[in-house]
Amino acid sequence: MAVKPQQTTLEYTRGDTDPIEFTRLNADGSRKDITGFSYRFTVDTLPDPLGAATNVFTVPGTLIDAPNGELAFLPTAVQTDQTAPKTYYYDVEETDAAGRVTTIAKGEWRLKQDISK
């Protein structure tokens, strides 16, 4: 069964370290148990890169409440502060307990300039 990734635009401020949170749901809307799953959030300069050469950074996912489908990505200040403010592109890949990889989300990642230094 093919899964169409959720298309979402994310906005983030340069230098921030707020978690980027996701909740996985089953087709019926109930929370999906993601115990044993892993995730990665990758930011790229291109919407459809042919390889990893244009990747800006990748953040591994942290399972917050796996039985209830809650996970987060925690970018570091170095990752977000040393990245120029502009529109990038991201995707989120899920690897289930059997090793199957699915892209569950993708879209624009808009990095805004901060004022405080």
pLDDT at 115: 85
How high is the pLDDT of residue 33?
A: 97
CB 43 within 8 A of CB 113: no
Q: Model's pTM, two decimal places?
A: 0.90
What pLDDT is recorded for position 116? Answer: 79
Position 117 scores a pLDDT of 67
Model pLDDT, residue 88:
97
- Per the DSSP assignment, residues forming a β-bridge with 60 are 40
Residues lower than pLDDT 50 in the chain: 1-2
Cβ atoms 72, 19 nearer than 8 A: yes
- Domains of the chain are 6-112 (2.60.40.10)
